[in-house]
Structure 1
Amino acid sequence: MDKPHYSKIKIGVSSCLLGENVRFDSGHKKNSYITGVLTEFFEFLPFCPEVKIGLGIPREPVRLVLQDGSVYCKGTKNSELDVTEKLSTVAEQQKKWHESLCGYIVKKDSPSCGMERVKLYSNEMPSRKGVGIYTKRLIENFPNLPVEEEGRLEDAKLRENFIQRVYVFSRWQDMQSQEVTISALQSFHARHKYIFMSHDQTQAKELGSMLADIGDTTPIDLAERYLTKMMCLLKVIATRSNHVNTLHHIQGYLKNHLDTEDKAELVSVIHDYKNGLLPLIVPVTLLRHHFRKHPNDYIERSHYMAPHPGELMLLNNI
């Protein structure tokens, strides 16, 4: 199985995560995983909405405040400082370059950039129910765009899930740059079918049925429906049991090629992965080995066993 070629993919990122001194205290929140690992594979487009709207460096911190049922972004000292509309507007103004992105990494806990669980202040104790104003508008404008917080990237499963979504979304964008046809959609689905199965087998079947029962739907309308369902499916974290089921499906393509000893070894390795004794990369590598000896066109085109660059080592930790 040939090693796939990957080109750098455009990712939006909160400027402070790249080490830019744009925070309210003139500091930064440089993230070593982003700057030390991901920069080899992604082209990062940094942006700080608070600086863009003219808050300055240093500046008075802002926070999310719940008042009369609505959420505002206001100064922590000067309650007259209200930048809610400015942050929402500046996100709207960035739509042109946002359209070129295949993902976005935002700063956790930020009243402008946080994706979830941002502190929301009211007359009661602050709750973790807020979403940063800028990121909220970004997600509203591009609901299928993979968005993640840098803090959640510390979790191996969440990290692999986000980066996998980025690569799938990038391949989708590549497909859409050509003429969108039913055949192109079916080919895309076939190449990603086993990835979908590893996330949610029921939704994967529904996604396949969508392409089988087309009716009078135009390719463009079908593509929009497919994309929305696909990205929703991919947000589901792939489970060990679903991976095992997927591995067994792929193993089936080798049933007429392996001898008894090789079959037993493959079954044993998948069983050890199922029981948490091995990471996913081990059965995947063994399958790659056998398919190099016994090539299969369908598996060769599938992205399941090479969903992202191996150098990222994402399958080594799940």
Structure 2
Amino acid sequence: MSGERVRPRVAVSSCLLGAAVRFNGGHSRDRFLSDALSDHVDWVPMCPEMDLGLGTPRETLRLERSPDGPRLVTRRTRRDLTAPMKALATERAAVLRVDGYVFKAKSPSCGIHGVPVHTGEASADRRDRGLYADGIMNAHPLLPVEDEGRLHDEVLREAFVERIFAHARLRALFEGDWRPRDLVAFHSRHKMQILAHDPGAYRRIGRLVAEAGTCQRDRLAAGYGHAFRTALAVRGTIGRNVNVLQHCLGMISDHLDPARRADLVEVIQSYQARHVPLSVPLALLRHHIRGAGATYLRDQTYFFPYPDELRLRNHVPA
């Protein structure tokens, strides 16, 4: 197992870490973020309402429908904060250097989905984003983004955490004095992880890396970075994981006796049938990979996309 431990930098709505910045003077501390994940990431707390000088406690805000798009207004005094909030989002997006963002759910400024847009006293629909979150997400479409509510879902939580750690490793590579051979080595470690998300991208990125020695450095970084982040944004599936598990089994099959090989086949089939979580075949494969001395597989990020302590692959697929 690789000793590489890069800490993601993750922007977060301050209230989710326990800061008393909510409209009512309180907070919305989330246990997974402030306890479990805090040991492994570097948070970049942000609160757009506080940054606009609204203070706390403060008048509540809401989105209202208009011909020019949703407008952010205070409920009682009818102060229109649309322009300053959009300007803040543009300013922040221009300098944002993070590996992910966790927003406050349902907030008219920070919500990423299901935010009500009002027409008069009626709530017209709940399909919009908060004004600030919309600016950030439009400027960084490949940035891993979630809200604390969606992170209660085990599948979404695992997908988000996997992506922020992958983004962090890529950022660490490109922030250093890297050479084409370093990118080749990085890609080699991530091959199985990419394959589990997007087999088509796996082939396309492979062709890009094959030209690493002849491509201009900045162009190579931009092209690889976009392709890598796009591939990881594709949701992994049971079928794609089974494909990777079987691929890895094939690479060590000659080192296994028939009984051990049969055990691995059986446990992969159990995962495919949704009887056991992904952690079960992965643990058995990792054990046999170490025994076979298969260095290439041992170093694959697919087997340790984030710290094992987070225990995010222990859910049985629905």
Both proteins in one fold, TM over 0.5? yes
Q: Which of these residues, 84, 92, 95, is aligned with residue 94 of structure 1?
A: 92
Letter of the 1:113 partner, please give it.
C
Q: Which of these residues, 172, 175, 183, is aligned with residue 174 of structure 1?
A: 172
Q: Which of these residues, 106, 117, 130, is aligned with residue 109 of structure 1?
A: 106
Q: Distance in 1 between matches of 2:212 and 2:41?
A: 36
Letter of the 2:13 partner, please give it.
S
Relative to the length of structure 1, the TM-score reads 0.92
Q: Distance in 1 between matches of 2:186 and 2:113?
A: 31
Letter of the 2:24 partner, please give it.
D
Match of 1:122 in 2: 119
Letter of the 2:243 partner, please give it.
N
Whether contact under 8 Å (2:6, 2:165) holds in the other structure is no
- Overall identity of the aligned pairs, in %: 33
Superposition map of 1:54-203 within 5 A? 54-79=53-78, 81-94=79-92, 98-99=96-97, 101-122=98-119, 125-203=123-201
Whether contact under 8 Å (1:17, 1:29) holds in the other structure is yes
SS at 2:127's partner residue? strand
The alpha-carbon distance between structure 1 residues 7 and 216, as it changes in their structure 2 partners (threshold 3 A), is closer
Letter of the 2:101 partner, please give it.
Y
Superposition map of 1:269-288 within 5 A? 269-288=267-286
Give ranges in structure 2 of 5+ residues lacking alignment.
none
SS at 1:190's partner residue? helix
Letter of the 1:87 partner, please give it.
M
CA offsets per residue over residues 32-71 of structure 1, 9 Å max, x none? 1111211111122211110110112121111122211322
Q: Distance in 1 between matches of 2:39 and 2:95?
A: 21
Letter of the 1:82 partner, please give it.
D
Match of 1:36 in 2: 35
Q: Distance in 1 between matches of 2:83 and 2:223?
A: 31
Worse overlay, 126-135 or 49-58: 126-135
Worse overlay, 139-148 or 211-220: 211-220
Whether contact under 8 Å (2:6, 2:169) holds in the other structure is no
Q: How many residues align?
A: 315
Worse overlay, 289-298 or 182-191: 182-191
Once the two structures are TM-superposed, the CA of residue 274 in structure 1 deviates from its matched residue by 0.5
Relative to the length of structure 2, the TM-score reads 0.92
RMSD (CA atoms): 2.1
Q: Distance in 1 between matches of 2:40 and 2:99?
A: 12
Worse overlay, 288-297 or 121-130: 121-130
Once the two structures are TM-superposed, the CA of residue 12 in structure 1 deviates from its matched residue by 1.2
